[in-house]
Amino acid sequence: MRGGGFALLVLLAFAGAMYWGMAAEREEDLRHRVEQLAAAASGQLPLMVHEFHEDSNARKFHDDSVVLDAVGARHQRVRWFDEQGVLVREQGELMLPPPPPPELRQRVQWRRWSGGLRLWQPVRTRSLAARGAVRRSGYVEVGLSDHELETE
């Protein structure tokens, strides 16, 4: 019986190590996907904010149409905010926790919640033509469900 107990202990240790290793790998993969999505959203922010504040383009960003059957829409959400923190546009169906309070919005923030992982990120830009100073253009908030990884 001693040999069986030792084998069981070794098996449990191996199973635990495998579980924690796979969980860490999944977390790293989710974090990487959130970072990629945030980078893409950040690149779109200056145009979105510019178009949002143009009167002639109000219909473009304030319509009530929704893209149906978008790949992954149930498992993600992207929100774009202007420099005052006003929501400019959002995509996706994933419910996110509320954005950070205004006094905490100036820095990158990661938040894990029961539905997945969220990244809040200030977006800074500089005019290439004028070689101007760096300025905050707004913020992006990106969330991915951890259930997305389970369906792959």
Contact criterion met (CB below 8 Å) for 45 and 140: yes
105: tokens are 């919005």
Choose among 113, 123, 108: nearest CA to 144: 113
- pLDDT band of residue 118 (cuts 50, 70, 90) is very high
| Dihedral of the alpha carbons of 135, 138, 139, 140, in degrees to the nearest 10 | -110
- pLDDT band of residue 2 (cuts 50, 70, 90) is low
**What mean pLDDT comes out for the span 120-143?**
84
Secondary-structure breakdown of the chain: helix, strand, coil percentages, each rounded to the nearest 5: 45, 25, 30
Position 73 scores a pLDDT of 61
Q: Is the pLDDT of residue 128 over 60?
A: yes
Position 68 scores a pLDDT of 45
- The dihedral through the CA atoms of 126, 127, 130, 136 has a sign that is negative
Contact criterion met (CB below 8 Å) for 88 and 48: yes
Burial 57-69 (b: 16+ CB within 10 A, else e): eeeeeeeeeeeee
133 or 145: which leads in pLDDT: 145
**What mean pLDDT comes out for the span 106-128?**
88
Choose among 92, 82, 85: nearest CA to 46: 82
Whether the model clears a pTM of 0.85, i.e. scores above it, the answer is no
Choose among 107, 109, 110, 113: nearest CA to 94: 113
Q: Which residues pair with 113 in a beta bridge?
A: 116
Phi and psi torsions of 117, nearest 5°: -135, 135
State the average pLDDT for the chain: 78
**What mean pLDDT comes out for the span 128-136?**
76
